[in-house]
């Protein structure tokens, strides 16, 4: 919504209301559709589909249209990069870790120079998820790459469908498309270095401890690093923690309601209402609007591991609440320390 602020004054109040209503409905229907498909079939890495759909739909993006094919091709390229790291470089830690750090730096540097957010996010998730799967089993890398691409493709198609069903009203302001900055950009390099110093240690820690069962927490931490408010130091981190705890509280409520009424149709209605509530704040002028996307993601991450037949509430919700809260605090604290001692900035 901030990208549209420049042209907001020229838009009538009625148009703003209609635009907000459409985007709230698009978010709620798209997130529910992606979740309905994922939870109905539960293929490996199915939980990525609703998480990514929420990430895409929380931004006022234009209709995908012909962009779908290039997006899917970029996913395949990201998967190939992740599989290369997993199969050929991971057995050599002294080579793998520096190259992983260099790759993460270039991903953030590419994004900070206004490169496509989607390409940067897919590449980062691929180089984090697939090597973690390779720690458990090399064969899992091959299947993981295929299921990763499939999960992303389902999320893209769900977003494309709701974009066609609920387009922005005619004459509605569209987010300005920033031009890619070629050449060396010092500010982008500095920001990329800060993000790399935050994400690389937690990625290495997850692989060293083989925390594949908590892969969703790593995904959440990686996506959190893309939130602009996360770069605002400790104050921004506290707000992110608050929004994360809101998502955790919503996950607990959703879980116990599903325990009371364990029906698939009830889950869809409940999920639609929850996503509508989140979207109502995301596409508003509320001070927490920029953080509610993280809250919706946190709720999805927690609920995704708690709906299986043998799922345990304590293991999959309470422990993940602690891990997600720790990941949020880690990102905020690490950025504060880096700014204070490495880049010599005060709050």
pLDDT in tens, 173-215: 666 666 777 878 888 888 888 888 888 888 888 888 877 777 7
Distance CA 85, CA 76 (A): 14
pTM over 0.95: no
Quickly tell me which residue has 């539960």 as its tokens.
Answer: 42
Q: Burial level of 13, CB count in 10 A (0-12/13-18/19+)?
A: exposed
Residue 329 in contact with residue 234, Cβ under 8 Å? Answer: no
State the CB neighbour count (10 A cutoff) for residue 42.
Answer: 12
For residue 3, the Cα-to-chain-centroid distance in whole angstroms is: 19
CA distance 299 to 225: 17
User: How sure is the predictor about 73, in pLDDT bands with cuts at 50, 70 and 90?
Assistant: confident
Q: Is the pLDDT of residue 4 over 60?
A: no
pLDDT, residue 231, reads 53
Q: How many CA atoms lie within 13 A of 11 on its CB side?
A: 19
The torsion angles phi and psi of 309, rounded to 5 degrees, stand at -65, -35
Q: Check residue 346 and give its pLDDT.
A: 47
Q: What pLDDT, on the 0 to 100 scale, is given for residue 198?
A: 84
> Average pLDDT in the 29-52 region?
90
Q: Specify the residue for token string 């927690």.
A: 302
**Among 122, 139, 110, 40, which residue's Cα sits nearest to residue 73?**
122
State residue 224's pLDDT score: 72
């Amino acid at each position: 919504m901030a990208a549209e602020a420049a042209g907001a004054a020229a838009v009538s109040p009625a148009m703003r209301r209609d635009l907000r209503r459409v985007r709230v409905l698009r978010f709620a229907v798209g997130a529910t559709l992606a979740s309905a498909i994922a939870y109905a079939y539960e293929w490996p890495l199915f939980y990525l589909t609703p998480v990514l759909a929420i990430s895409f739909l929380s931004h006022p993006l234009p209709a995908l249209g012909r962009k779908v094919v290039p997006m899917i091709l970029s996913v395949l390229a990201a998967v190939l990069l992740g599989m290369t790291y997993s199969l050929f470089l991971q057995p050599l830690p002294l080579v793998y870790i520096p190259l992983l750090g260099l790759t993460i730096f270039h991903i953030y540097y590419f994004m900070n120079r206004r490169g496509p957010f989607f390409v940067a996010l897919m590449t980062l998730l691929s180089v984090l998820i697939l090597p973690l799967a390779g720690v458990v089993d090399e064969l899992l890398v091959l299947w993981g790459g295929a299921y990763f691409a499939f999960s992303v493709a389902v999320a893209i198609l769900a977003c494309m469908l709701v974009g066609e069903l609920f387009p922005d009203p005619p004459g509605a302001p569209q987010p300005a498309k920033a031009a890619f900055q070629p050449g060396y950009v010092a500010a982008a390099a500095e920001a990329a270095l800060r993000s790399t110093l935050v994400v690389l240690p937690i990625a290495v820690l997850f692989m060293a401890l083989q925390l594949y069962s908590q892969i969703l927490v790593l995904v959440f931490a990686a996506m959190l690093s893309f939130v602009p408010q996360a770069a605002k130091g400790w104050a921004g981190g506290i707000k992110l923690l608050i929004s994360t705890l809101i998502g955790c509280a919503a996950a607990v409520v959703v879980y116990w309601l599903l325990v009371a009424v364990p029906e698939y149709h009830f889950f869809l209605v409940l999920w639609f209402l929850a996503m509508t509530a989140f979207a109502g704040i995301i596409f508003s002028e509320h001070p927490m609007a920029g953080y509610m996307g993280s809250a919706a993601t946190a709720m999805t991450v927690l609920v995704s591991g708690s709906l299986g037949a043998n799922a345990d509430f304590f293991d999959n919700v309470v422990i993940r609440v602690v891990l997600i809260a720790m990941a949020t605090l880690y990102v905020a604290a690490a950025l504060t320390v880096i700014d204070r001692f490495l880049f010599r900035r005060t709050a």
